[in-house]
């Protein structure tokens, strides 16, 4: 059982690359299930639209997770009520539309649970991610409802992500961080069998400032002008990880970092 997770898709550059390359990657890597974080996928680099959701699902994505930018495109409020493959963080307010967890069928006939969480430190206000994680684990036992569990923790700081990795160790197949748009080199299988990666990185143009046009971002840091951020439009790198998972116990056998194309591809 091979599960591909791709980090935050940013703008047209990231979307186009996912649509172009994902079908081939699924075949060549024998992928059974694909999760992407899509909260920056809209052309403005924030939020996601119904058209993009449909395009991603039709090119092989099974589930789209999000984070702090989930509501940045107004249509998402209605879309997420009917589109169960689009998740928002579980620990948003209870009044938020949509779901933070779902169970989906994979190629090969397995049930894959996908849990979307958001960190508390330097992020928008949301419920305590540690209390919500404990509640989730108390209510959902792995063997009963799903064969595999993938956790996307959308957060800013590394220690919070690593701590959540340990909270889920032995309970989840893979805990992966998103949001910083920078892939970390610490992918490993933890002691009790959960694969862990502090940040998946992004699917976007790295000739940028975390996917956004560099010159404009620098101007904003100097406070020279108030032009809104907009994405860089060059060739994207696709960043994430492939987890080889064991159907007998739902845990990870192996994690390999996945970096393809654009400025981050090593042989460019
Ligand atoms: Fe984010």
pLDDT digits (tens, 9 = 90+) for 28-83: 999 999 999 999 999 999 999 999 999 999 999 999 999 999 999 999 999 999 99
How far apart CA 130 and CA 26 sit, in angstroms, is 33
Q: For residue 88, what pLDDT is reported?
A: 98
Mean pLDDT of the chain: 95
* Gap from CA of 105 to ligand 1 centroid (Å): 27
Tokens standing for 88? 């928002």
Per-residue pLDDT tens digits for 207-225? 999 999 999 999 988 887 7
Q: For residue 266, what pLDDT is reported?
A: 73
* DSSP classification of residue 263: G
For residues 253-266, average pLDDT: 95
Q: Has 69 been annotated as catalytic?
A: yes
- Candidates 45, 47, 73; CA nearest to 212 is 45
User: What are the structural domains, with CATH classification, of the chain?
Assistant: 2-264 (3.60.21.10)
* Gap from CA of 116 to ligand 1 centroid (Å): 12
Per-residue pLDDT tens digits for 110-163? 999 999 999 999 998 999 999 999 999 998 765 579 999 999 999 999 999 999
Q: For residue 67, what pLDDT is reported?
A: 97
| Angstrom distances, CA of residue 181 to CA of 76, 88, 166, 198, 227 | 22, 18, 22, 11, 21
Single out the catalytic residue among 69, 154, 171, 179. Answer: 69
* Gap from CA of 178 to ligand 1 centroid (Å): 7
Q: For residue 111, what pLDDT is reported?
A: 97
Per-residue pLDDT tens digits for 147-205? 999 999 999 999 999 999 999 999 999 999 999 999 999 999 999 999 999 999 999 99
What is the torsion angle, in degrees rounded to the nearest 10, for the CA atoms of residue 207, residue 209, residue 214 and residue 218?
-150
């Amino acid at each position: 059982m091979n599960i591909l997770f791709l980090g935050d898709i940013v703008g047209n550059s990231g979307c186009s690359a996912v649509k172009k390359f994902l079908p081939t990657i699924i075949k060549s890597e024998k992928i059974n299930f694909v999760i992407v974080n899509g909260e920056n996928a809209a052309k403005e680099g924030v939020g996601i639209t119904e058209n993009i959701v449909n395009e991603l699902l039709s090119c092989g994505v099974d589930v789209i997770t999000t984070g702090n930018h989930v509501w940045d495109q107004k249509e998402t409020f209605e879309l997420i009520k009917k589109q169960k493959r689009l998740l928002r963080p579980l620990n948003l307010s209870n009044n938020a539309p949509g779901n933070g967890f779902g169970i989906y069928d994979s190629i090969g006939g397995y049930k894959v649970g996908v849990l979307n969480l958001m960190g508390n430190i330097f992020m928008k206000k949301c419920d305590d991610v540690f209390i919500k994680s404990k509640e989730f684990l108390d209510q959902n036992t792995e063997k009963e409802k799903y064969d595999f569990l993938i956790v996307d923790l959308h957060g800013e700081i590394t220690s919070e992500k690593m701590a959540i990795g340990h909270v889920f160790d032995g309970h989840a197949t893979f805990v992966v961080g998103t949001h910083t748009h920078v892939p970390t080199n610490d992918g490993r299988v933890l002691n009790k069998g959960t694969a862990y990666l502090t940040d998946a990185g992004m699917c976007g143009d790295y000739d940028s400032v975390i996917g956004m046009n560099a010159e404009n971002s620098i101007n904003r840091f100097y406070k020279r002008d108030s032009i809104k951020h907009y994405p860089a439009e060059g060739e994207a790198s696709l960043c994430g990880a492939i987890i080889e998972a064991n159907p007998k116990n739902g845990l990870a056998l192996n994690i390999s970092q996945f970096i393809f194309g654009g400025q981050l591809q090593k042989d460019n």
